[in-house]
Structure 1
């Protein structure tokens, strides 16, 4: 029972700390590490010997490397080969060399210095990719540089996993001897697994897939992963290496996405347990005894990686701004850094004190990562001020209109949507001027003869340069509602008569934009729905004239019939979304319901700002019932409105309160 309560303590700590960290928008990896430090032998000491859990937790790394192998795509690597080789691979090698030299200067041994170099050279794929995806920066050039570097770092993990166990066994031979032995063993194992992956695994999964049993497919995936891991371990190499190779062999198969979905629950749970066991090794006393060492390691690792990535990216032909931004994004240590630290500690390469120092520095570096990524571009701009002098001169030239205009269209944002609008305006010989903040795009467009201004449409000076006072229409093509809202307010403050047409991705901010002064708001999601509906009706035999009338009526009615929808499991139910969205909800009137026998008009639902879309009675539907319609017991009412209003009206219909 003792082990049971220890496992229970781990789960309780993990759940509570992960919940707290996610509320604070911090990475879950940090939460697992902190949970481990709280319950480990240097904390509350309620888990006993952590070696009991390490064997199970190591499977988390096995499954992590398996999914990494699934994502390892040779075509993707070839497409990004310029950035991967010139920035990614050189970053790993140069960082490794610098850290090794610094570690040797501090009196550490060669094997220890080598592993520390590997720990510092790696960045957090999980945190960086997630942060870039959430912020939309992954499509920017700095994001692409970061992805290329992360791809190379993920590949570099594999040789580190091979070498570290050998360093512990034969540190006296030196790093080169260990690498030579690892290379021989690795080539043999890779050859075996490549042969098995090419000829055996596809046939196995074809047979299993034909049985159409989910449980058997999951079991086969687990078996293949663990067998590959066991093979590499048998030859004295890392289990994670075998899992990576197995994943890589299956990454090009038709079962890739199903395999990833099957393995993800096991990977996430066991990986969390792994980071908990890593946290158990963190000695709080050592942290308090050597805060200077931790701060030194943290600062040096951040400065080295930022500087190396910046230098290499610029040498590869990237702009200084994007180079700096990528350096800030990738400055932290990664989840694989903790894997290497744990592996080095288990093989006697790291002492307990050094392990705690590196863990402390790694945890702190990951803690500041979200902040660094969110401010990376701002810092990069400030650090490239010396280059902005020439750029500002070019931008001043780009801010001047190419020709004077009147009774024209102003396009705010000259991205893909803005350029599409401009092409149709040119076909009809309608004058326009576009405003965009991207100097490269503006320069390219002006060289091609487009009438485009550089600047922000939120600035009055730029709008005056576009002669907003004499424009007949302003098209705001940004997708972000906050940016569009600011532009609408600024345009309306400068011109009361100009028509403003706003494009948004959905209808969340439709009312807000209209209140700010927009004459028309076109939500992409609703317009896309209307286009789809028109095609469906056309292919279903509905006369085209009737389709056009219905579509026009819906637009004239401000998409009212498209606003409400039935919520699902994946619907955003956060406080902000709840206030914006309208839901459709069906409620059944009980025999003793308050609304039974009353008309819709008598209930006063209009004042409650909830609409009855339809009534389902005795198997037939009454769409858009009149206010005089009297409700009956067992009627199913389809209500539309904001969630809280619908909830109140539902209670009112049943109880009269």
Structure 2
């Protein structure tokens, strides 16, 4: 047990250092995980031994990745992409496999050996491509949709290959057709079952879970659903990733899509890192060095050929040349399922051990080069004459503008949030609200309000609301601790966005200002201002003068409303608060220490207490000057926090510090 803990600790240390270093030099984290695996594996330092359990846990990263991908696709959207999935996807797999087979046959490989190698090289890496698309935001671009469509068909194509390989190794190859038909029947049944569960059961389950309002339960249910769907397809002999994708797709139509993705993301990212570590552990560095010229030749051939096949196929189907080539660059590598097929083919002697080592080296290196090539895609397209300048690649098409732009984000859609929205709507100011109450959410959705389900302290939910493109964020709840967390999350995503916060009083105003809040609206003081406005108006004061005085008070940040007399009882939270400033009255007797001294000589500002007013005989002086000399019989109105006012009172009376 101790050795296992040491190994895991060493792996974490190496991963942290590699990810930090690779990010510092501008390389993607995927390469850092691969490098960690190379270092930790049996072909590196060798402190981590590969095991079936480790590979299984790592595969869960792909399961969660496909689950989150499914959340991006509703069933109507998938049906709209059927031409890409079954048209372009099948064309790419079939053409690539046939051409690679012919090349290998010309190189005097056997028919079975050629088919095995060609079929696994036709596949691409869902893990690498989807992760990079999510990070770059290209998932909804046409090039991203082409890549995803082809990857979905490839994931489906893995299922018959897992069945065919063992049968090819046997003499009774006539069983292949029956086995494939049986597998397809099982696949259709499990898909129908998952569709039914996702359509009629899961929405009710998550509605009930959301009513409990417990983050941990919602997260646990999300994990359970993803793993249940993956396990169900695995029991039927299908890919776990396919089941997770179907479950995610069913939930992609629900109100809880954004929160589901936010909950699954930490597990997905950690396990995906472990997956890439296990991939890197399979690379034999010495073998690569000894066969580097052949490996480079195959990598170049794989790159050029798979890009050409996908680019030509996509253009035949009417896609833009720019998008077709971009999708080809995304999908040129070998995929993670290729490693599974390599192990299966080696087990049934369809490929030799030398060929397995060679294919693993090609697969790992092609996956490692993919992030760099995707990053350089604009420059590649420019050199091919498909772009006038590289910046065009990142521009959104006119028909796919962001969902929210220059809008207001309302955090919390209870009474205050709804009131704000009611005033924004007539002014044609676009807004989106984030709410975690499922009943309120359903009612608002039914009324056509733009509300998404989620907890605003999570950055993924804030990104879903488009905080980085918002003109203003309004926090409508008054919990200070929660507000701090939300403000911190907002500032990490959009450091320059304006933030308006509602608070019960002004006790935390300065703290919130230091955190980066633009404006704090204290309810207690605003209620006082509104009450004063009504009193003055009903007393005959002109409205223009009332507005001018109230506006001045707001500009002064409620300076003259901060203090108040407490009496012998405090209300509500004030009783336990030591943050509020109170007003306290003291009279200076004849022999008081402060008598015959100037206010400035007492240095009360150093004690953070101020003299708000002074009454001398029948005359009142508001905000007396610092040069005012105090006399016996003066009545002072002090403002400050309770303990400070008590210390200043003793000081003024007897001079004690």
| Distance of 2:349 and 2:233 partners within structure 1 | 21
| Distance of 2:30 and 2:88 partners within structure 1 | 27
| Distance of 1:135 and 1:68 partners within structure 2 | 14
Conserved 8 A contact 1:282-1:355: no
For residue 19 of structure 2, give the secondary structure of its aligned residue in structure 1: helix
CA shift digits 1:115-147 (9 cap, x unpaired): 5434433444565566667777777xxx51442
For residue 172 of structure 1, give the secondary structure of its aligned residue in structure 2: coil
Q: Which residue of 1 aligns with 2:142?
A: 144
Q: Which residue of 2 aligns with 1:500?
A: none
| Distance of 1:260 and 1:250 partners within structure 2 | 10
Structure 1 residue 269 displacement after superposition: 2.3
Conserved 8 A contact 2:233-2:239: yes
For residue 331 of structure 1, give the secondary structure of its aligned residue in structure 2: coil
Conserved 8 A contact 1:119-1:340: yes
TM-score (ref. length: structure 1): 0.55
| Matched length | 452
For residue 369 of structure 1, give the secondary structure of its aligned residue in structure 2: helix
TM-score (ref. length: structure 2): 0.55
Q: Which residue of 2 aligns with 1:198?
A: 196
| Distance of 1:157 and 1:246 partners within structure 2 | 15
Over the aligned positions, Cα root-mean-square deviation in angstroms equals 5.1
Q: Which residue of 2 aligns with 1:95?
A: 96
Q: Which residue of 2 aligns with 1:51?
A: 52
Q: 1:23 to 1:115 in 2, by over 3 A?
A: farther
Conserved 8 A contact 1:163-1:182: no
For residue 104 of structure 2, give the secondary structure of its aligned residue in structure 1: helix
Structure 1 residue 32 displacement after superposition: 2.0
- Does the alignment pair 1:210 with 2:208? yes
Structure 1 residue 303 displacement after superposition: 0.8
| Distance of 1:318 and 1:244 partners within structure 2 | 26
Conserved 8 A contact 1:194-1:249: no
Q: Which residue of 1 aligns with 2:286?
A: 285
Conserved 8 A contact 2:74-2:250: no
Q: Which residue of 2 aligns with 1:275?
A: 276
For residue 381 of structure 2, give the secondary structure of its aligned residue in structure 1: helix
Conserved 8 A contact 1:198-1:249: no
Structure 1 residue 587 displacement after superposition: 5.5
Q: Which residue of 1 aligns with 2:487?
A: 568
| Distance of 1:307 and 1:271 partners within structure 2 | 29
Conserved 8 A contact 2:7-2:47: yes
Structure 1 residue 37 displacement after superposition: 1.4
Q: Which residue of 1 aligns with 2:370?
A: 369
| Distance of 1:631 and 1:324 partners within structure 2 | 70
Q: Which residue of 1 aligns with 2:3?
A: 2
Q: Which residue of 2 aligns with 1:316?
A: 317
| Distance of 1:38 and 1:14 partners within structure 2 | 10
1:160 to 158, 172, 191: 158
Q: Which residue of 2 aligns with 1:359?
A: 360
Q: Which residue of 1 aligns with 2:562?
A: 619
| Distance of 2:50 and 2:372 partners within structure 1 | 36
| Distance of 2:55 and 2:421 partners within structure 1 | 62
| Distance of 2:336 and 2:12 partners within structure 1 | 20
CA shift digits 1:428-458 (9 cap, x unpaired): xxxxxxxxxx9x99xxxxxxxxxxxxxxxxx
CA shift digits 1:572-621 (9 cap, x unpaired): 669xx98x8999993599xxxxxxxxxxxxxxxxxxxxxx9847577369
Q: 1:352 to 1:61 in 2, by over 3 A?
A: farther
For residue 283 of structure 2, give the secondary structure of its aligned residue in structure 1: coil
Q: Which residue of 2 aligns with 1:586?
A: 510
For residue 318 of structure 2, give the secondary structure of its aligned residue in structure 1: coil
Q: Which residue of 1 aligns with 2:465?
A: none
Conserved 8 A contact 1:40-1:46: yes
Q: Which residue of 1 aligns with 2:461?
A: none
Q: Which residue of 1 aligns with 2:185?
A: 187
Conserved 8 A contact 2:100-2:118: yes
For residue 37 of structure 1, give the secondary structure of its aligned residue in structure 2: helix
Q: 1:368 to 1:87 in 2, by over 3 A?
A: same
Structure 1 residue 306 displacement after superposition: 1.5
CA shift digits 1:17-44 (9 cap, x unpaired): 2222233333333322221111111111
CA shift digits 1:451-485 (9 cap, x unpaired): xxxxxxxxxxxxxxxxxxxxxxxxxxxx9xxxxxx
| Distance of 1:65 and 1:163 partners within structure 2 | 20
For residue 489 of structure 2, give the secondary structure of its aligned residue in structure 1: coil
Radius of gyration: which is bigger?
Answer: 2
For residue 98 of structure 2, give the secondary structure of its aligned residue in structure 1: helix
**94-103 vs 240-249, which deviates more?**
240-249
| Distance of 2:37 and 2:253 partners within structure 1 | 37
Q: 1:618 to 1:49 in 2, by over 3 A?
A: same
| Distance of 1:178 and 1:80 partners within structure 2 | 30
For residue 510 of structure 2, give the secondary structure of its aligned residue in structure 1: strand
Q: Which residue of 2 aligns with 1:428?
A: none
| Distance of 1:72 and 1:112 partners within structure 2 | 37
| Distance of 1:344 and 1:83 partners within structure 2 | 29
For residue 569 of structure 1, give the secondary structure of its aligned residue in structure 2: helix
Q: 1:537 to 1:317 in 2, by over 3 A?
A: closer
| Distance of 1:124 and 1:94 partners within structure 2 | 18
| Distance of 1:312 and 1:361 partners within structure 2 | 24
Structure 1 residue 634 displacement after superposition: 4.8
